[in-house]
Amino acid sequence: MSNTLLIENLSVRYHSQQILHDVSINIPAGSIFGLLGDNGAGKTTLLKTILGLNKHFSGSMTYNEQPLSREQAKDFGALIESPAIYPNLTAQENLRIMALLYNLSEALICATLHAVGLGDVSKKLKVKNFSLGMKQRLGIAMAIIHNPKFLILDEPTNGLDMAGVDDFKTIVHTLAATGMTIMVTTHQITELATVFDAFAILQHGKITYTSNSGGYSAEELTAIYREHNN
């Protein structure tokens, strides 16, 4: 399996504070890759750097064996922190705004909402009345409407109940089955352990462990995480 994204010796410093220290990871094409770490470990900083939102870094990033650049941005979709939604609009109306940016059809809007399980409420309920899980689904829909090849999801299960987490797992596996590469950050190890095909642990801005395989149980992954969380 080839590497979609290769990050080598990436460091980020804000003023006198070092946020990331020589981070190196491989994200295989078509995989669900987990970036595991406590709050404040540097996960969001890494994602923003990948997406070109942070220019102050050293090291290298290559995507499909080419230096990562603005021209490749069309291949990426992202949900970082809270989804940028309009609460007084419906899910369909929110997605219609995104579709205008990409010149996409109404049929694709409907297909995307059905893919994330919002087809039945997309025309009726305003987003301000959505549950947290429904808002997360809408955020994912907004990130994938242009059919990205690489999807980045930052702490997507924060605040979700177990039913919401199970729904998220289903959505992610469905997207991965289409060939999409997905990068998920989380500190909720037990909830998402079985999702990942590969993962890395980021603590205090440093990669402390990497694995190119998945299939770990929640107990196994928790034990690895505790061992390398220092």
The values of phi and psi at residue 5, to 5°, are: -130, 125
User: What value does the CA radius of gyration of the chain take, rounded to a whole number of Å?
Assistant: 17
> Could you tell me the domains of the chain?
3-227 (3.40.50.300)
pLDDT at 1: 52
Which residue type, as a one-letter code, is found at position 87? P
Residue-level pLDDT, tens digit, the chain, 230 residues = 567 899 999 999 988 889 999 999 999 999 999 999 998 899 999 999 999 888 889 999 999 989 998 888 889 999 987 778 999 999 999 999 988 888 888 889 999 998 888 888 767 889 999 988 889 889 999 999 999 999 999 999 888 888 888 988 999 999 999 999 999 999 988 888 899 999 999 999 999 999 998 889 999 999 999 999 87
- Structure-token match 């939604």, residue found: 85
Contact 170, 202 (CB under 8 A): no
**Rounded distance between C-alpha atoms, residue 135 and residue 198, angstroms:** 27
